[in-house]
Structure 1
Amino acid sequence: MTDNIKQEMINKALWAACDTFRGTISADSYKDFILTMLFLKYISDVWQDHYEAYQTQYGDDSILIEEKMRAEQFALPREANFYTLLEMRHEPDNGKRIDQALKILEEANSGMLKSAGKRVFQDISFNTDKLGEGKHKNLILRHLLEDFASPQLNLKPSRVGALDVIGNAYEYLIRNFAASAGQKAGEFYTPPEVSDLLAELLDPQPGDDICDPTAGSASLLLKCGQKIFANHKSNKYRLYGQEAISSTWSLAKMNMFLHGQDNHQIEWGDTIRNPKLLDPHGNLLQFDVVTANPPFSLDKWGYEEAAHDEFMRFERGLPPKTKGDYAFILHMMSTLKPDTGRMGVVVPLGVLFRGSNEAIIRKRLIEENLLDAVIGLPEKLFYGSGIAAAILIFKKKKTNTNVIFIDASREYKAGKNQNLLSKENIDKILEAYKNAADMDKYSHIATLEEIQKNDYNLNLPRYVDSLEKKEEGDFLAIYYEREKLKTQLIELDNDIESYLVKLGYTTQSRI
């Protein structure tokens, strides 16, 4: 490396570039401009770095240099080069030029930047009136180009070294945009420590096919791939995903490229209504590992279409019309390989105990001996949602009929706005899971008979008493008891709702 560059320097310069947009548009809007410009700047710097290396090697032999550059993994026409745009930044129509450059880039690299006719940048326009009109918009985009031309954002491989420096910068931006975007953040981002935990629990191996049917920005998929390389020094795996939100699909494609992941297939579309990951015969592809953080209790998830599902994903039962949690679980279950298949999914706590059709589906999954673990997580882990959640682990081939319950809801590191899972918190969960250990007030190995006696209700307090005994009059003990009673009240409400449905009445669920 030509000078000592640190990740923090790049991150700081990128976050400073966001100042160009602050006060003009919101973070959830300008993230697309910043991340796209990072992508364009990086590939331009890589191209320039390689061109200069060939100049050093071949001197003035421009024909040979051009021939070598045509063999590059990524084609970069002059009109799509960041530095061409930078040279013209003082002229009118910066927005139009940047949009045209992105379109040219897509056409020159259709294999990487297109999928079934969908272009990575087609929903991203720098010529939008969101940035203002005329001269004001042109000025903002001129400043943006100049920000990325700063020496701190020289992203040439000869300077920054490992590709992960760029991938990490992209993740840094996504994480900070998620923190600023509030409720919308859940559409594209799973907190890194939750992704780490899922990857550790599922233990992906070399040769595995790994899928996330609600891929978001693909951070969870990338964690699984990185885990294989870290544990086995192997890049022999393949990543698959599908994402319904167009702009988020674009983030996933760019994220994969900037992390050097060529072995991926990320499709755009609604996973429930129109699954795109199919084999040549039109059947659902199957995977060794399936993992996801689907939208919690999604309304209008595709209930009408599911009743006539051609892939037979809902034979165990049809999830409620206004709560799609089990729709995603059943889809994921249908894509597991019969021998090696294992899956981890993040769910709201209501999935553990809600009644009606969800109770029927839950019972069938348990009776088929597919459920392996229920792990309660702390509240306020996820951007845009303050509620507590759980991780469910399923396996196609289990060696016994037990299920381990882990209550990690009180094990976290408090943050300013979000709680975090520390390394110690994650290690404790993994120790209990991998050792299948009963740990006082933390984990319990439940037999099938025990779960049956609880009427297939998976609510954690039924299996793990995590409340500390306090002296009489201790207000913390009163608080804990209140929280426990609130959970029991929710269960009771759902039981009542189930009975009313059976009697022909309709009611609005509370969860």
Structure 2
Amino acid sequence: MEEKVTQQQINNVLWQAADTFRGKIDSSTYKDYILTMLFIKYLSDSYKESLEEYKERYNGDEQRIQRALSRERFVLNEQSTFDYLYSKRNDSEIGEIINKALERIENENTGKLRGVFRNIDFNSEAILGKARERNAILRSLLEDFNQLTLKPSVVGGEDVIGDAYQYMIERFASDAGKKGGEFYTPSMASELLARLVKPQENDRIYDPTCGSGSLLIRVANQVQNKKVAIYGQERNGATHSLALMNMYLHGIDDAKIEWGDTLANPLHLEDGKLMKFQAIVANPPFSLDKWAMGFAGEGTNDRKFKMEASLDQFKRFDWGVPPSSKGDYAFVQHMLYSLAENGRMATILPHGVLFRGSSEGKIREQIIEMNLLEAVIGLPEGLFFGTPIPACIMLFKKNRQRKDVLFIDASGSDNYEKGTNQNKLREIDIQKIIDVYEKNETIDKYSYVATLDEIRENDHNLNIPRYVDTFEEEDPVDMDLVKENISNINAEIKEVEKQMEKYLKELGL
């Protein structure tokens, strides 16, 4: 029996593999190669273990072995295995050999892996450099991964590989700074969203800007038997591939993750209309500029293009068209239009959405007047990669019985753990938010339940300080003490002046 491989060992090899690329290409790009290689190694080692098992069971009867293998979760042929690629590590065409293997894996598993690797090119001169450098990088990558054994019997649970994958995505996000924040929501922020939307068995769960899929996986994990249907869409091709691999590595084989621009081209449809979901979560790109470009016809001049509600066949912008430089409410409206009756949605947004005026103000007023807004939660600053700005969570619900909105200000310094590069939400911080949300209560300096009339009086402005007063009273000033301090300081000054005079005399000045 081989010794169990630990999470730490896997993480170390992955981080070592990252060193191969560091300084040569941007980490927001090389993560795609490392994570893809991890996936191939996992498929390979699982296949190899099954093959050994069947050889033993069927005494080497080829036909029965092949029949048994064809019923496995993933099918590989010998030239698609990691071992085959490793044996070719010194080949001058290694990039092309890896690409061909990926293509074969896709073709042999069309039902599951179709299109997973289409956005990842191991032979790209533009990204990996000219042949000699490229070959050196790929050889090194194969050698790093060759140290790892990812056989299911050695790894233990599937979670170990899934967690290693998550670990890398998180490390890359912090490494890549600004670029990183776009494809990753820190785990505790994901956990908070997941608990706020409380998915139930048989729910459809949706993330319209799903990045590498970590947030969707968190939400699915809230349901014990994981009997939920998962849907996502992602605009960036390579990130879309990572999301699919992430799902498989977490044992979710039936997730429907589409590739494309959710606003201009939503791909989850039913009878030509937007599909409806019981639970929606998202961390859309903050204040996305030119969000509506996908609606512009061919050859339209970017500068002259003006988005209008009539251009959207799904009529998502009837409450108002967001400003062209800020896509926040475009995503919110898309999600509200995709929400099933009694559905819940939670999304992370910049604070500007709470108070900005003009068209955003009108959209916000509509949403509030339709009683769709359930809560506004202010988060601590520095939680997200690449942006110091504090964000908030807006929580929406269809068919609400209550006519009020809960405001929570969880941004105070005792509501999170300070980190050097990044602040973190702890379990107690999340629990505090969830408790107050479930009880829907006003707590001094932390939360406030506002009536719709109060919000109307504020012209539908949702800025949290208008509702939750976190101002700390200063202690009254003791004037006698101040007087005493002043006279003490004056006496000290006199003393110093005397000394100065003495020194100047001695120096004959």
**TM norm structure 1:** 0.88
* CA shift digits 1:73-131 (9 cap, x unpaired): 212122211111111112221111111111111111122222xxxx2222211112233
Q: Which among 274, 288, 298 is matched to residue 284 of structure 1?
A: 274
Unaligned runs of 5+ in 1: 475-511
Unaligned runs of 5+ in 2: 293-305, 479-509
Residue 482 of structure 2: aligned partner = none
Residue 218 of structure 1: aligned partner = 213
Residue type at the aligned position of 1:132? G
1:235 aligns with 2:222: no
CA distance in 2, matches of 1:467, 1:429: 20
Q: Which among 172, 178, 181 is matched to residue 186 of structure 1?
A: 181
CA distance in 1, matches of 2:72, 2:118: 24
| Mapped contact 2:416–2:429 kept (Cα < 8 A) | yes
Q: Which among 370, 373, 376 is matched to residue 374 of structure 1?
A: 376
CA distance in 1, matches of 2:472, 2:210: 38
* CA shift digits 1:147-198 (9 cap, x unpaired): 1110xx2000011111111100000000000011111112210111110000
CA distance in 2, matches of 1:304, 1:404: 33
| Mapped contact 1:51–1:69 kept (Cα < 8 A) | yes
Residue 57 of structure 1: aligned partner = 57
Residue 469 of structure 1: aligned partner = 473
| Mapped contact 1:273–1:306 kept (Cα < 8 A) | no
CA distance in 1, matches of 2:93, 2:74: 27
Q: Alpha-carbon deviation of 1:68?
A: 0.9
Residue 245 of structure 1: aligned partner = 236
Residue type at the aligned position of 2:118? Q
Residue 483 of structure 1: aligned partner = none
Q: Alpha-carbon deviation of 1:472?
A: 6.1
* CA shift digits 1:250-269 (9 cap, x unpaired): 11111111111023101111
CA distance in 2, matches of 1:402, 1:444: 10
Residue 429 of structure 1: aligned partner = 433
| Mapped contact 1:237–1:263 kept (Cα < 8 A) | no
Q: Which among 131, 135, 139 is matched to residue 132 of structure 2?
A: 135
Q: How many residues align?
A: 462
Give the 5 Å matches for 1:187-202: 187-202=182-197
Corresponding residue SS for 1:294 = coil
Corresponding residue SS for 2:44 = helix
Residue 458 of structure 1: aligned partner = 462
Corresponding residue SS for 2:436 = helix
| Mapped contact 1:273–1:305 kept (Cα < 8 A) | no
Residue 125 of structure 1: aligned partner = 121
Give the 5 Å matches for 1:60-459: 60-114=60-114, 119-129=115-125, 130-150=127-147, 153-229=148-224, 234-279=225-270, 281-302=271-292, 304=307, 306-338=309-341, 340-410=342-412, 411-459=415-463
CA distance in 1, matches of 2:26, 2:291: 28
CA distance in 2, matches of 1:246, 1:305: 28
| Mapped contact 1:215–1:243 kept (Cα < 8 A) | yes
Residue type at the aligned position of 1:225? A
CA-based RMSD of the aligned residues comes to: 1.5
**TM norm structure 2:** 0.88
* CA shift digits 1:447-470 (9 cap, x unpaired): 111111111110000000112222
CA distance in 1, matches of 2:363, 2:133: 56
* CA shift digits 1:1-38 (9 cap, x unpaired): 74233212211121112111122212112101100100
| Mapped contact 1:342–1:393 kept (Cα < 8 A) | yes
| Mapped contact 2:339–2:398 kept (Cα < 8 A) | yes
- After superposition, the Cα gap between the structure-2 partners of 1:184 and 1:473, relative to the gap in structure 1 and judged at 3 Å, is farther
Residue type at the aligned position of 1:465? D
Residue type at the aligned position of 2:355? F
Radius of gyration: which is bigger? 2
Corresponding residue SS for 1:304 = coil
| Mapped contact 1:307–1:318 kept (Cα < 8 A) | no
Q: Alpha-carbon deviation of 1:305?
A: 6.1
Q: Could you tell me the percent identity over the aligned residues?
A: 50
Range 254-263 or range 172-181, more displaced: 254-263
Residue 503 of structure 2: aligned partner = none
